[in-house]
Structure 1
Amino acid sequence: MLPIVNNTMRVKQVNVELVKTALKALKFGTKSTIANATGLSVATCGNILNELLERGEVIETDLEQSSGGRPARRFMYNANYSYIACIYVSNEGGIYRTVYAVANLTGEIIAKNSSEVELINYEAIDNLLEDLTGKYENIKAVGIGIPGIVHKGLIGAGDIEELVNIPLAARLKAKYNLHITVENDVNLTAYGFYQKQHYEEDKTVAVVMFPEGNCSGAGIIVDGRIIRGNTNFAGEVSYLPLDYSREEQIKQTKNPDVFFLLMVKTIASIIAVINPAIIVVTGGLIRLDMMAGITNSCEVIIPQEHMPQIIIKENMQEDYINGLISITLESMACDVQLIEKRL
């Protein structure tokens, strides 16, 4: 009997998410318009709307104007029903920085701040989150971006040694009893960039980052989904066999000719493996005037018809925050994915 009960509950969760998603997109909706948008029955939509209305996640507005007959009740999603806290930490050339954004349930940022700090460790992140949850009591989920690998709940090799081998998500969840998501920084940047493009069809996109004083990394999006790999190691391009160890690659950033060759080999490797439509090149070592050189050098290795559009962006902080907000909001939805069958 238990599996049937579980399945019923999961279907209900999916239906609630469908209604909420539709109402966010419609801005205002009646039971009928939401039923049309979701494919659910009017009765099911009505029951879900009543539940959401009772707990304050949906607001009832003025009645819909009627051309005859009884006017329909109209509803809107209460974006400020609760908030999410998004935090990312970085080490760029030995400068440690924490950035946070507090957003509502439609992703609108209501508070944001960036600070240079002397040290980033568990306590620094915990103290920042404690301040945010104290100031915004209805925070329900937290997303954290880190420059490193997250595998089996532990932070692996990365740019901030004090976070290595720390079970960050588990410790914060135990203390705050909130949804906690910890994700790689370049994955989040790639996802945020992809989300902002609003592609009509799914695409394959990569963001490759060449930071100052640290190893390169890539975020890979295939058909709209982050590719993390078996152990979340996907995108760790500094481990490619480029004839230089990771430590030596960092040293070679001081040698423009060698660094440029390493950069081109890295980008060409990504093109050959995933055949992206777009590659965005970014990081503290990247300048806008590198565009022609990168493109021409890659075309020596990759046939022209398989070359992606190459974009250089010197600052992708907004993409990073956008990806972090998107992932954190998704973490609050039920874990059942509705996948459209492609013929």
Structure 2
Amino acid sequence: MNTPVTRTTREMKKSNVLLVVNALKALNSATKADLAAQTGLSVATCGTVLNNLCLTGEVLSLALDASSGGRPAQRYACNPDFFSVLSLYVEGNNSACRMSALISSATGDVLQQLDTVHPSLSLEHFFSYISDILTRYPNLQAMGIGLPGVIVNGVVASCDISLFNDLPLVPMLQEKFGVFVQVGNDMNYTAYGFYRSNCPQETAPVAYLLQPEGECTGCGMVINGRVLQGASHFAGEVSHIPLTPAADEQIAERLGKIVVTLVAVINPVMVALSGPQIQAQDLVAIRRYCQNHLPAQHLPTLIYRPSIEQDYLQGIAELTLESYNFHLAFER
């Protein structure tokens, strides 16, 4: 009697695919035995998954390993050309906007980086910019968009660039371009990019503060390797903390107050700080303020970042690739 395939069985198979793909990317190339050791799956299960992935072209069979007396093992690697990913962020306001884009392969290798400034951005310009990139990269299957605003379930609830306000941007882009789309907050992406490039094994909270022109400080937080979104995707909107400024308050004191608040709430092990109003030497005054208000054992490490660009783009690229791999596994 044939046992019907339950949803649980199907889900397990898809989960196995995700485990194998992620392990293969982490190892760059691997044998079935390597993947079994990395994932905890059996060699036979890894072999079945790899055979199916080779048929779709997502995984490539490489040369056989040198034999040590027995049968030489087949080595495998993810196919970097299986698809490409667009990571794009828009920054600025209604007066002027800048768009920065990164195109990467299925294995995360950078293919091209682009940058453009628009004195006055329109949706037509925005869509045209994406369309031009898709024309140049026809195998582009996923895009991640970063915006200075609050995004809830694919809808832009609020944004510093008003043309995006209330737009259901995820379904709009999916319908227009027919690719996987993810849209997120600028600071969440930036914090994750910083985390991945500086402390990817850290499980304690890590925070990232951005001080742009003006008083609207932004913050992103990563806890146990995951971005903290909050119940309504409002986590990190630290400009809403009612901090009463002193008459002659300097930017270092303002940021010091925010760091102290973060320590009291999430107790980060590390806080990165960036923005045009911050210089590396300001961290001395920020650290001194924190020392005056916190016990020494709770002080986080403060790190200056001269620009958010690479952290931002890396965060978009890695989170989009992670989400798309999950999407691929569960759409097979």
Structure 1 length normalisation: TM-score? 0.88
Identity of aligned residues (%): 35
1:264 and 2:249 are equivalent in the alignment:
no
Which segments of structure 1 move beyond 6 Å, counting only runs of 4 or more?
none
Figure out how many residues of one structure are paired with residues of the other and give that number. Answer: 326
**Which residues in structure 2 correspond to 1:1-343 (within 5 Å)?**
5-91=6-92, 94-213=95-214, 215-243=216-244, 257-334=249-326
Counterpart of 1:243, as a letter, is T
Counterpart of 2:278, as a letter, is I
The farther-off stretch of 68-77 and 12-21 is 68-77
Q: Secondary structure at the match of 1:62?
A: strand
Aligned residues of 1:86 and 1:321 also touching (Cα < 8 A): yes
Structure 1 pair 83–256 and aligned structure 2 pair: CA distance change class (3 A)? farther
Aligned residues of 2:94 and 2:160 also touching (Cα < 8 A): no
Q: CA deviation at 1:94?
A: 4.9
Q: Secondary structure at the match of 1:173?
A: helix
Q: Secondary structure at the match of 2:219?
A: strand
Q: Secondary structure at the match of 2:82?
A: coil
Structure 2 length normalisation: TM-score? 0.91
Q: Secondary structure at the match of 1:61?
A: strand
Deviations 1:63-120 (A, max 9, x none): 2211223322222221221100111000079541001110012211101111111233
Q: Secondary structure at the match of 1:257?
A: coil
Question: Matches of 1:327 and 1:122 in 2, distance apart?
Answer: 24
Aligned residues of 1:143 and 1:181 also touching (Cα < 8 A): yes
Counterpart of 1:32, as a letter, is A
The farther-off stretch of 291-300 and 87-96 is 87-96
Q: CA deviation at 1:179?
A: 1.4
Aligned residues of 1:156 and 1:164 also touching (Cα < 8 A): yes
Question: Matches of 1:228 and 1:110 in 2, distance apart?
Answer: 30
Question: Matches of 2:196 and 2:9 in 1, distance apart?
Answer: 32
Question: Matches of 2:153 and 2:18 in 1, distance apart?
Answer: 28
Aligned residues of 2:104 and 2:111 also touching (Cα < 8 A): yes
Question: Matches of 2:125 and 2:262 in 1, distance apart?
Answer: 35
Match of 1:341 in 2: none
Any unmatched runs of 5+ in structure 2? none
Question: Matches of 2:36 and 2:296 in 1, distance apart?
Answer: 48
Q: CA deviation at 1:61?
A: 1.7
Q: CA deviation at 1:183?
A: 0.7
The farther-off stretch of 214-223 and 270-279 is 214-223
Aligned residues of 1:66 and 1:72 also touching (Cα < 8 A): yes
The farther-off stretch of 42-51 and 135-144 is 42-51
Question: Matches of 2:155 and 2:215 in 1, distance apart?
Answer: 20
Structure 1 pair 81–290 and aligned structure 2 pair: CA distance change class (3 A)? same
Counterpart of 1:331, as a letter, is S
Question: Matches of 2:124 and 2:323 in 1, distance apart?
Answer: 24
Counterpart of 2:179, as a letter, is L
